[in-house]
Amino acid sequence: MDVEVTYCVVNTQQRELLERCLDAIARERAAVPFATEVLVLDNASTDGSVGAARNHPTVDDVIALKQRRGKGENDTALLQAARGRYALLLNEDSELLPGATAALHAALEANPRAGAAGSTLLRPDGTPSPSAWRFPSVLTAAAGALFLHKLTTVQSRGGQTRAVDWAQSAALLVRRIAAREIGWFDPLFFVYSDEVDFAKRLSDNGWHTLYVPGAQAIHHEQLSTGSVPERRIVELSRNRDRYMRKHHTRATAALVRWLTAWTYFLRSLAAIVLPGHNPARYRAHVHATLHPDEGDGLREAALDYNRGGMRL
Q: pLDDT for 10-46, tens place per residue? A: 999 999 999 999 999 999 999 999 999 999 999 999 9
Q: pLDDT for 88-142, tens place per residue? A: 999 999 999 999 999 999 999 999 999 999 999 999 999 999 999 999 999 999 9
Give residue 54's pLDDT. Answer: 98
Q: pLDDT for 72-81, tens place per residue? A: 999 999 999 9
Say how far apart CA 247 and CA 259 lie, in whole Å: 18
pLDDT band at 274 (very low <50, low <70, confident <90, very high): confident
Q: Write down all domains in the chain, each with its CATH number in brackets.
A: 5-224 (3.90.550.10), 227-306 (no CATH)
Flag whether the pTM goes above 0.75: yes
